[in-house]
Structure 1
Amino acid sequence: MFAKFSFTVRACGVAGCVAGAAAAVAGWTSAEQNNHVMLASSAYMAQQITPNISLDSSAGDMRHRMEGLILRTQKDLCDALSKIDGKEFRVDRWLRPNEGGGGISCVLQDGKVFEKAGVNISVVKGVLPPEAVKQMRARGHSALKEGESLPFFACGVSSVIHPRNPFVPTLHFNYRYFEVISDNQRIWWFGGGTDLTPYYLDETDAKHFHSTLEKACRPHNPSFYQRFKKTCDNYFVIKFRGERRGVGGIFFDDMDQPSADACYQFVDSCAKSVIPSYIPIVKRHYRDPYTDRHRQWQLLRRGRYVEFNLVYDRGTKFGFNTPGARIESILMSLPLEARWEYMHEPEPNSPEGKMMAVLKNPRDWI
């Protein structure tokens, strides 16, 4: 998953070295470098990607506003997850010295509560290859010139959280902003969503999750939640199995109406709903007792998660089709362990069977 905008990159192991190099290129003094790094490290997980600018959420270039949003979202979620788990995230800041931009990949692995949790951001620019332009035209961006390589800017935050306890669901979300220049015209849009993948059905959890998302959508447009829930149910489908990946959430793409500011405000509300939609569920269940049977079912469902991400997910495929993609960031979404079992069918009235019934026939939760 993104940061599904992790295109051509050079991995950098030490954030401080990267920050110093970027500052040196920008012509900062040593004092300015140190001050900027300290400010960045306290406000974000690492120094912001675009140097020496204000990332004010209320004014300025939309590129800078979105960079601020995704950096704050990453920091807030990593802090919340670390507080529960007791383990800190590994932070990798990387740059694209030839094309421009970079990203920050934060991964917590082998924790007490989270088996693998990744929260990535990327702020990149460069040239889209014709194959990527073709994908976008297929989604309705007919103004993009076919068969040409086009300049682009993209920034986004993406996260997948795989818990250790089978009674804690997996969470995925991503929020992004995209610009493409075609025939000297700037074409922009927003996209994103949040969805939940439980291993065992808890209706209270599903209702809480969806109610929180509906609350985030309502002030912007009363129809958004139902529209984007349906889109989510229809997007996260493993078609060759006839199953949804989970109990859904919201999903939208190519949003460019009514204005850039209105779209930004909506995305900001959605991003701020991630923690209240998910963290209470984690706290309710991460101490629940479970058996090896529960664990084996969790691993089977994680196999389905892998199938969707590698076969159907647009962002994953887009990353693979972009030359020089940072594979470690794209595949951050995959679990540490998964399982495939030949012809496995749960008993219809078992807890596993009840979960499968919902995956085959999505429900309304509020």
Structure 2
Amino acid sequence: MPDDSDVSFDDRKARASGWFRQLRDSIVAAFEALEDSQSTGPFAEQPAGRFEVTETRRAAEGEADAGGGLMSVMRGGRVFEKVGVNISTVYGTLGDAAQVSMAARGVPGITDDPRFWASGISLVAHMQNPHTPAVHMNTRMFWTPNAWWFGGGADLNPCIEYDEDTASFHAALKAGCDPHGADLYDRFKAWADEYFYIPHRKRARGVGGIFYDDLNTDDWEADFAFTQDVGRAFLPAFLPVTERRRDTPWTDADKDTQLVHRGLYAEYNLVYDRGTKFGLATGHDPDAVLMSLPPLAKWR
């Protein structure tokens, strides 16, 4: 990663965090509209789900202001059993363990000057209908005095798989990647397949998507534009799948399959997920960090 210590990133930071807020607002509006449009099924007679919004703060020892964000969670909706759409902008000084982790990833100068700034959006949706897949999406920007990078992606997590859904989800993500390089989708799809793998179960968490991290091509504008297009691709990837499956009848056995699959999701997020580890290690609100966990799950 190049040395950007002579570059003022204040404007770039503001643009990135502002974009993540815009993306959050568009997704929240789309999800509430989906709730409003659900007129059939066992939950159609209950009120349409709405997001409960809570401000979050990062608690860092010795730092009066360490940033925070918004936690937006909908529970018990017509379509969504639980969905969280969180944004945060946090900053301060990395602790020793985080410095070691960043140094191991090749971040220059992090032990000499451990200041950092990070902003992003994180989304996880767990659905009422077992035929409608759970989904995860996030995009983020990270800055230190000597480096910057982007990361993110999205992946689909059905408990009952449909080839049509997998194909359309991946096609929408590919459409977001292709304008930025013909090789990006294949690279980041392979990265997702590796990243969202559960070693102790010897299986993937879902049917994949894309994942990337440490993205720095020496062109901040280009990397930011790509990250924006990944975010923009999310709703075209996910909404058609949801609209296709939300009215599919399900059985008790289907619900049982969903709850067991959610157990896999919980295991992955607690044991392997980078975002969970970083958020807890740096003192962010644990309720916001752990909003990705499903409302109900089971294990055999």
Q: Could you list the runs of 5+ residues in structure 1 that have no partner in the other structure?
A: 1-58, 342-366
Q: Which amino acid is the alignment partner of residue 247 of structure 1?
A: V
TM-score when normalising by structure 2: 0.89
> 1:68 aligned to 18, 31, 39, which one?
18
Secondary structure of residue in 1 paired with 2:180: coil
Secondary structure of residue in 2 paired with 1:279: helix
8 Å contact kept, 2:110–2:144: no
Secondary structure of residue in 2 paired with 1:83: helix
**Residue correspondence of structure 1 range 1-366 to structure 2 within 5 A:** 61-85=11-35, 86-95=48-57, 98-141=64-107, 143-146=108-111, 150-181=114-145, 186-322=146-282, 324-341=283-300
- Looking at structure 2, the residues matched to 95 and 309 of structure 1 have their Cα atoms a distance apart, in angstroms, of 21
Task: Using the TM superposition, name which of 98-107 and 295-304 deviates more.
Answer: 98-107
- The count of corresponding residues between Structure 1 and Structure 2 is 276
The aligned counterpart of 1:352 is none
- Looking at structure 2, the residues matched to 316 and 149 of structure 1 have their Cα atoms a distance apart, in angstroms, of 24
Q: Which amino acid is the alignment partner of residue 157 of structure 1?
A: I
- Looking at structure 2, the residues matched to 106 and 209 of structure 1 have their Cα atoms a distance apart, in angstroms, of 24
The aligned counterpart of 2:4 is none
Are the structure 2 counterparts of residues 229 and 106 from structure 1 closer, same or farther at C-alpha, using a change threshold of 3 Å?
A: same
8 Å contact kept, 1:299–1:339: yes
8 Å contact kept, 1:153–1:179: yes
Q: Which amino acid is the alignment partner of residue 86 of structure 2?
A: N
The aligned counterpart of 2:41 is none
- TM superposition shift of 1:144: 2.9
Question: Percent of aligned positions with the same letter in both sequences?
Answer: 40
8 Å contact kept, 2:192–2:211: yes
Q: Which amino acid is the alignment partner of residue 267 of structure 1?
A: T
**RMSD of the TM alignment (CA)?**
1.5
8 Å contact kept, 2:49–2:76: no
8 Å contact kept, 1:191–1:255: yes
- Looking at structure 2, the residues matched to 328 and 109 of structure 1 have their Cα atoms a distance apart, in angstroms, of 14
Which 4+ runs in 1 deviate beyond 4 A?
A: none
Q: CA offsets per residue over residues 77-135 of structure 1, 9 Å max, x none?
A: 11111111222100112345812422011000111110100000001111111111111
Secondary structure of residue in 2 paired with 1:219: helix
8 Å contact kept, 1:130–1:149: no
Q: CA offsets per residue over residues 27-83 of structure 1, 9 Å max, x none?
A: xxxxxxxxxxxxxxxxxxxxxxxxxxxxxxxx9811011111101111111111111
Secondary structure of residue in 1 paired with 2:181: coil
Q: CA offsets per residue over residues 249-298 of structure 1, 9 Å max, x none?
A: 00000001040000000001010010010011111111110000000010
- Looking at structure 2, the residues matched to 228 and 331 of structure 1 have their Cα atoms a distance apart, in angstroms, of 25
- TM superposition shift of 1:150: 1.0
Q: Which amino acid is the alignment partner of residue 301 of structure 1?
A: H
8 Å contact kept, 1:129–1:149: no
- Looking at structure 2, the residues matched to 321 and 89 of structure 1 have their Cα atoms a distance apart, in angstroms, of 27
- TM superposition shift of 1:228: 0.2
8 Å contact kept, 1:128–1:149: no
Are the structure 2 counterparts of residues 145 and 93 from structure 1 closer, same or farther at C-alpha, using a change threshold of 3 Å?
A: closer
Q: Which amino acid is the alignment partner of residue 126 of structure 1?
A: G
8 Å contact kept, 2:102–2:110: no
Structure with max Cα Rg: 1
The aligned counterpart of 1:15 is none
- TM superposition shift of 1:320: 2.1
- Looking at structure 2, the residues matched to 239 and 149 of structure 1 have their Cα atoms a distance apart, in angstroms, of 35
Q: Could you list the runs of 5+ residues in structure 2 that have no partner in the other structure?
A: 1-8, 36-47
- TM superposition shift of 1:319: 1.8
Secondary structure of residue in 1 paired with 2:138: strand
8 Å contact kept, 2:157–2:205: yes
Q: Which amino acid is the alignment partner of residue 51 of structure 2?
A: F
8 Å contact kept, 1:108–1:116: yes
8 Å contact kept, 2:57–2:284: no
8 Å contact kept, 2:68–2:284: no
